[in-house]
Structure 1
Amino acid sequence: MPDIQRTPPAPESELAFPVRIRMRDGVLLAGDVYLPGAPTDADASPGDTILIRLPYDKSGEYCFIPFVAEYLMRHGYRVVAQDVRGKFRSQGDALLFVNEVDDGYDTIEWITQQSWSNGRVAMWGDSYYGYTQWAAAASGHPALKAISPRVTGTDLGEPVRRDPDGRTCDVEWAVTYLYPLTQFFDHDMLEWEPDWERRDFAAQAEEFMAQVGTRGISYDQWYPHPVLLPRFPNGDPFAGRSVPALHTIGWWDNCAPLSWADVERIRRHPNWDAHHHLRIESIDHEGFQLLDADDDRLEDRSDEQIRALLPRTLDPALEFFEVFVRGNGSATDLPRVTWSLAGTEEMRGGDAWPPAGADAVTRWATADGALTPTRPVGESTLQWTHDPADLVPSSAPDAFSFLLSKPDEAPLGERSDVLRFDTAPAAADVDLAGPVSAQVRVGSDGPVMDCFVRLLDVAPDGTALRIARGQQQLRGATEPAALTIDLGHVGYRLRAGHRLRVHVSSSDYPEFLPQTGTGVDPWTWGETRANTQSLTIGGPEGLALTVAVLEGDLP
C-alpha cells in the first residue's frame, strides 16, 4: 500500500483577514485579503489589487504566498490570495481546470465591489496559478488590467489527445495521471508516489483510492475513458478581449513546451500580440536558476532565503504593473522581449523573439557518432534495443526542479540504448538564441515507438548539461517515418572548448510513461517485449540538428 502524507490547510496568515467569496452557483471560495497598513477593510483606502488564485494552499509553506503578499503590500498593492474551488478551505469539487474562467470572473467582480478596491485588478503566479490567469483573462472581465503568468500554459496538464487517424503525438508525462491523485484529489494535498519498479500504475491508483476510501473526480474523468471537459467555455482563450501579459518562460522548465505553444497562438491574434511581453529566464519550474549559489540550491529554504529571492521573482511583474495597472509610463518603455543568455549573468532586451540576426545552422549526424557541417551522402542505419525491463533513467530526481540537482547526463550516453553524436569543440564562444529542432527517420519492430532527443553542452572535463530536449511518439512504427522533433528554444552561451552533443533514445523513465513494446497502454502495463529501434543516418532524411546561432561559429 502507498505511503500517503496528507497536508491540510495551514493556519491563515496574521497579515490578512479571511473572506468567503460567493460564486454564481453559490459555492464559497476561501480568500485571504492583505491590505497595506490597514488591519481591516474599514480602515483601508481604495487601491490597486493583485489577485492570486491557486490550488496549493493560500496560506501554506509550498508557495509562501504570505511572504509574496507582504512584498507586494510594501509596493502599495492590496492582495487577494484564494484557494481555487475544491481545494483546502474552498467549497466545491476538486475538478481540474474547468471552473477557473467563471470563478476568476466572479472573484474579480467581488474585488471591484469592495471599499478598498479602486476597480483595477492584476494577477500573478506560477504553474496552475499561472493558468488561472489565462482563464480569468479569457473571462473578459474589464477590471483585469494585466497578468503575469509564469511557467504555465493554457493546455496545462490534461492527458495527450491522440488522433486515431494520425501516427504521431506527444509522449505522455508520468505525472499526468498522478496530479489528480495527489495535488487535485480532494481538499487537502496528498503526497505519495507509485512503486516505480511495479509499473502497473492503474492498479496502484486503484489501491491508493481504496486506501483513502473515495475516488478522485478528476482522475475518473481522465482515465480509462477520457472525458475532457471544455476548460474555456467561450472557446479560444485568445479570441476575445486581450489583457496585457508579462509571460515568463524558463529555459529548463519541463512545462516550457506549453508556454511556447501559447506564444505561437498569441502571434496569430494581433490584439493579444500587441501587448504581449515575453520574459525568458534561466530557471526551471520551481524557480531554481542555472547560476544559483550552492547555498540557495536547496529544496527547503529558510524564511530569510525565501524573502531574499522575492525581488528577482516579483520585481519584473511590479515594473509591468506600474505601466499597465497604474498608468505610470508607457508600454514603449518596456522591452517586448527580455531574455537571459544562459551560462552568463546577462539579461538582454529586444523587440522580438528570436532576436534579429539569429541564423538557423544545421549539423548532420554520421555513423561514427559525429555532428558535422556536411550531410553524409550515403544512407546507413543505426539500431538499439528498447527493453521495458531496463529503461533509460530520467536524469533528475524531480523533473520540476531540474536545476536543483543540475545532473550530469554524460553517463547516459554510455548506455547501449542511447545513441550519441558530438560536434567538434568550439574554437570560441558561440551564442545560441532561438528554436532548436531535430529531423529523424525512425522505426521499430514494435507497434509504438517513443523517440527522445536531448541536446547537451559537453565541457572539456566530460560533464554534460542538458540545454534542450524534445520527444515524439510514432504509432504504427513498424513502418519507418520521418519526424521533425521540436526541442523548444534556447538562449545559451556555448563556451570555447565545449561541444554540442545529441542523445537519441526510446525512454526517459520515470518522467515519461515507457512503452511496453507490445502496444498496450503504458499506464495499465501488461505484456512487455523488447524492441529493436532504428535511426537513419545520412541522405535526405538522416538525423539533422538545427539550432539558431546569434554570434560565433558553430563547429
Structure 2
Amino acid sequence: MTERSYTYYNLGVAIAGFLTRGGEILCRTRDLETMEWGPYAPFAPQRESFQYPDRIAAWEFLSAAARGERPFDPADYAEVDSPYTAGSGARLWVRRLGVHPVDYVLCEGRAVAAIGVLQKRIDVLVEDGFEGVTPLRDHRDPLLSQPVWGKRCLGTFDVPMRDGVTLSTAVYLPRNGPAPQTRFPVVLIRTCYGKPREIIMHPFIHYGYALVIQDTRGREESGGEWSPIVNEMDDGKDTLDWIAAQDWCDGSIGMIGASYLAIVQWNAAASGHPNLKAMISQVTGGTPTYEFPHRNGILCSGTLAWLFSMSGRRMEQAQMDRDDWADVVKLLPIREIPQRALGKEIPCWREWMDHESMDDYWERSNWERFADKINVPTLYVSGWFDDVGTGTSQAWRMNRRMGRPDQRMILGAWRHQFNVSRDIHGIDYGVRAVRYDLFYQYIRWFDRFLKGVENGARQDPRVEYYVIGSNRWAQSCDWPPKESALVPYYLSGGGSANTRLGDGVLRDAPPVAEEPADHYLFDPNDPAPHLIDMSENECMVPENYREMELRPDVLVYTSAPLEKDLTVAGELSFVLYAATDRPDTDWVARLTEVDGEGNSLRLSDGVLRARYRESLKEPKLLTPGEVVRYEIPMSWVANTFRAGHRIRVEVTSGAENSIFPNHNTGKPIADDTEMLVASQTVFHDAARCSHILLPVIPGEN
C-alpha cells in the first residue's frame, strides 16, 4: 500500500499535513501560536476547519491523487512552461478563465501539487518532496526570513489621536523564535473594512514581524466620525508615533494595504515620519480631486456603490448589490441621492457636495503637496484596469520627480481586485497574467528595508509590467519605459465621424489641409455609457464598446489594419481641439483595439471637465463657441496591437456609471437640476490637429 504525505502552505507557512494510505486520508493541523503540530486523525471534507472558505479543496485533490486521477478537467486548463518545473519532468497546468484559479503540477501524469491564487494569498498543497516545483521554491531563498515564529495577540488597544479620539488597534507579536527577541520590526495595516478582515495577513508574524491592525476613524470599533480621507494624515502620524514608542517595536515600521488601505499609507508618509521605513502600496487611490473621489475634477458616480456600502460603521456588501444603479445615478439634485436611494444621509457626501473644487477641505488630504517630506522605499502594485490606477501613477511620478531611491513597481493585466484571474469578463489575458510571487516580493521588500538584510532587492528590476496582446512580462529601468517614445496619431475625416460607421479615420500623419470638423449633441439626460456593473465595484474593466459606438453622440476614429505588431507601454494623453455652445461641458476620450471580427476592446480612457482645464483649484468657465485646446490625461497601459488589428479612438462627453454628467450650465453640480443639451464640435485640421499620444516601444514592432 503506497503511503504519501502532503503539506498545506498558506503564504509559505505550513498549516496542515496529510497522509494518504489507500482510500484513507489522515490530517494534522498546526497550532500557529506555538507552531507545534497536532496528531494525525481521520480526515473528511467537513473537517476542513483549518481552511478559509475559498481555499484549495484538500479532500477533492487528495482523493483524486490517491486514485491516480487528474483533479481537474483538462478542457478548462492549459499546460504551460514554468520556471518552477523547468528540467524537473513536472508540468504546470493553469486554469485559463475564472476568478481565484487553482492550478496543478503533474509529474508523470500524477498530481503532486495544487496552487491556489486566492485573493491576497497564494496557497500550495504539495506532496512532500515536490516543493521545488512550486512557488515554495522562492521561499527557500537563504536571504529570506523563514516562517519559524509562532504568534501571540498582545491585545487590542484604544490608541489616542491628537484630538482625543481613540482608534481600535490590535497588536500581534512573534513568539518562540529561533533566538530570544523582544523588539521587532512592525507591519502596520490601517483599514476601513474591519480588523478581522486583515488578519489574513498573519503570516507576517511567522516571518518575524510584529503586526498592527487598526480600524480607521469612524469605522468598526474606532471612535470618531467616518469622513473618508480627511483625517488620515494626522491619524497616520499619531499612530506611527504610538507604535514607535512601544517597547516591542525596534524602530522600523512598514505599511501594507490595498485601495483605501494604500491611500492611508501616502497620507502617513506625508508627515515624513522617521520610523516609516518601507511601504507596499497596492492599487492606491490618488489625491482627492485628481483621482478619488473625483477624476480630473469630475465627481465619480462609480464611487456611489462603495460609499453606500460604507454608510454604516461596518461595511455592508448588500448596499452595493442593487439592480437600480442606472436609476440612482440619474437622481437630481445629486446632493439628495443618499437620502432618496439609501433612505439616509451620508455625512461625508454632504461635505463633498459643499466642496466641488480643490479647496482647503480637500487640501487637508492632498499628500502630494508634502512631496518634499515623502521619502519611503515603496513597492507599488497596480494594473491596467485598476479603477484607481492613476493614483499609483501619480505617486510614482511624484517620487521619480523628487529623485527618491528604492522605488519599485509591478503592473499587471489586472483590475482593482488584482492578481486574481487570467481573464476579465471573459477577455483572456494569457496564462502568465497571474503571478505566484507577490507575497515573496513583499517579504523580500520588508526584509531589506525593515530588517536591513542585503538580499539584492535594490538590484531587482525597477519596473515589471505585463504586455497585453503579446501576453508576457517585460522589465524596465523606469516608468514610462525609457525606450518608449510618444508618437501622435491624428484624428481625420470628412466631417461625419459619428458612430463607427462614419468616416472618422486615425492617421499617423497630421492633416495638411482644411478638414471639416465633426459635430454631435451631448444630452446629459442620456450620456454615452461607460460599460461597467456598478454592483461589482470595478469601474475600469475592459469591455467591448462595439455596440456603444453606434450612438450618434460618439465620434469614432479608426486606423487602417496594422501591417505589423505595434507595442505601446507608458502614459497616454489626448490633445483635443474643441468648442461647445455652453459655458461648461465634459470631454471623454477612449482608446480601443479592434480585432478582426470588429470587437472594440477598451484599453484606456481619460475624462476632463472643461472648467478645470487650467486648474483644479480655480475653475474657469468657457466662452461659448470658442475653440479651446485641451490636454486630457488617460489611463496607462502596455499593449501589443496585433498585425491586422486596428487602433481606435472615441470622443464623446459622457461616461455614465463612471462619472456624473456635466449639466452644461456652468453652475455648481450639487444642487443643479437644470440640464442643457450641448452642441459639441471637434476639430482636426492643419491648425487644430486633435491627436492621441501613444508611448510606442520602437524596437518591438
Q: Which bin holds the TM-score, normalised by the shorter protein?
A: 0.7 to 0.9
Q: 2:351 aligns with which of 221, 238, 245?
A: 221
1:24 is the counterpart of 2:155 = no
1:171 is the counterpart of 2:298 = yes
1:83, distance to aligned residue in structure 2 (A): 0.6
Q: Distance in 2 between matches of 1:296 and 1:46?
A: 48
Match of 1:55 in 2: 192
The residue type paired with residue 54 of structure 1 is T
Q: Distance in 1 between matches of 2:259 and 2:563?
A: 39
The residue type paired with residue 50 of structure 1 is V
Match of 2:183 in 1: 46
Match of 1:317 in 2: 442
Q: Distance in 2 between matches of 1:418 and 1:293?
A: 25
Match of 2:509 in 1: 374
Question: How does 1:313-462 map onto structure 2 within 5 Å?
Answer: 313-329=438-454, 330=456, 332-367=458-493, 368-376=503-511, 377-398=513-534, 400-401=537-538, 406-462=542-598
Partner SS state of residue 92, structure 1: coil
Match of 1:94 in 2: 226
1:414, distance to aligned residue in structure 2 (A): 1.3
Aligned 8 A contact 1:419 1:503 in 2 = yes
Q: Distance in 2 between matches of 1:259 and 1:234?
A: 13
1:107 is the counterpart of 2:231 = no
1:429, distance to aligned residue in structure 2 (A): 2.2
Q: 1:257 aligns with which of 390, 396, 404?
A: 390
Q: 1:310 to 1:45 in 2, by over 3 A?
A: farther
Aligned 8 A contact 1:420 1:504 in 2 = yes
1:79 is the counterpart of 2:211 = yes
1:141-197 C-alpha deviation (Å, 9 max, x unpaired): 2221101112224514689999xxxxx9633312467766652x4523353667234
| Count of residue pairs the alignment pairs up | 510
Aligned 8 A contact 1:379 1:542 in 2 = no
Q: Distance in 1 between matches of 2:291 and 2:486?
A: 33
Aligned 8 A contact 1:32 1:81 in 2 = yes
Q: Distance in 2 between matches of 1:292 and 1:70?
A: 29
Q: 1:118 to 1:504 in 2, by over 3 A?
A: same
TM-score, length basis structure 1? 0.82
Aligned 8 A contact 1:513 1:523 in 2 = no
Partner SS state of residue 236, structure 1: helix
Partner SS state of residue 460, structure 1: coil
1:239-276 C-alpha deviation (Å, 9 max, x unpaired): 12521111233211222223323333223323xx2222
1:431, distance to aligned residue in structure 2 (A): 1.4
Q: 1:240 aligns with which of 353, 361, 373?
A: 373
Q: 1:293 to 1:140 in 2, by over 3 A?
A: closer
Percentage of pairs with the same residue: 26
Q: Distance in 2 between matches of 1:56 and 1:267?
A: 31
Structure 1 segments unaligned to the other structure (5+ residues): 1-13, 163-167, 298-308
Aligned 8 A contact 2:589 2:652 in 1 = yes
Aligned 8 A contact 2:251 2:275 in 1 = yes
Q: Distance in 2 between matches of 1:247 and 1:288?
A: 13
Q: Distance in 2 between matches of 1:365 and 1:548?
A: 17
The residue type paired with residue 59 of structure 1 is P
Q: Distance in 2 between matches of 1:238 and 1:278?
A: 18
Match of 1:496 in 2: 643
Aligned 8 A contact 1:31 1:81 in 2 = yes
1:288-333 C-alpha deviation (Å, 9 max, x unpaired): 6673488999xxxxxxxxxxx8955533322222211122224532
Match of 2:634 in 1: 487
Partner SS state of residue 443, structure 2: helix
Partner SS state of residue 59, structure 1: helix
Q: 1:287 to 1:241 in 2, by over 3 A?
A: closer
Q: Distance in 1 between matches of 2:293 and 2:681?
A: 26
Q: 1:407 to 1:483 in 2, by over 3 A?
A: same
1:348, distance to aligned residue in structure 2 (A): 2.4
Q: Distance in 1 between matches of 2:600 and 2:152?
A: 46
Aligned 8 A contact 1:445 1:478 in 2 = yes
Q: Distance in 2 between matches of 1:282 and 1:431?
A: 15
Question: How does 1:290-301 map onto structure 2 within 5 Å?
Answer: 291-292=422-423
Q: 1:241 to 1:426 in 2, by over 3 A?
A: closer
Q: Distance in 2 between matches of 1:232 and 1:515?
A: 25
1:324-379 C-alpha deviation (Å, 9 max, x unpaired): 11222245322222222233443222221222321222221221211112222223
The residue type paired with residue 482 of structure 1 is R
Rg comparison, structure with higher value: 2
Aligned 8 A contact 1:200 1:526 in 2 = yes
Q: Distance in 2 between matches of 1:188 and 1:310?
A: 32
Partner SS state of residue 441, structure 1: strand
Q: 2:608 aligns with which of 472, 476, 480?
A: 472
Question: How does 1:199-210 map onto structure 2 within 5 Å?
Answer: 199-207=332-340
Match of 1:530 in 2: 677
Q: CA RMSD in A?
A: 3.3
1:549, distance to aligned residue in structure 2 (A): 1.0
Aligned 8 A contact 2:384 2:637 in 1 = yes
1:269 is the counterpart of 2:402 = yes
Partner SS state of residue 398, structure 2: helix
Q: Distance in 2 between matches of 1:458 and 1:364?
A: 17
Q: Distance in 2 between matches of 1:295 and 1:366?
A: 33
Greater relative CO (CA pairs within 8 A, separation 6+) = 1
1:545, distance to aligned residue in structure 2 (A): 1.7
Q: Distance in 1 between matches of 2:366 and 2:528?
A: 40
Partner SS state of residue 174, structure 1: coil
1:33, distance to aligned residue in structure 2 (A): 2.6
The residue type paired with residue 519 of structure 1 is G
1:381, distance to aligned residue in structure 2 (A): 0.8
Partner SS state of residue 224, structure 2: coil
The residue type paired with residue 219 of structure 1 is W
Q: Distance in 2 between matches of 1:160 and 1:130?
A: 12
Match of 1:146 in 2: 278
Match of 1:301 in 2: none
The residue type paired with residue 189 of structure 1 is M
Q: Distance in 1 between matches of 2:231 and 2:674?
A: 39
Partner SS state of residue 199, structure 2: helix
Partner SS state of residue 502, structure 1: strand
Q: Distance in 2 between matches of 1:99 and 1:491?
A: 35
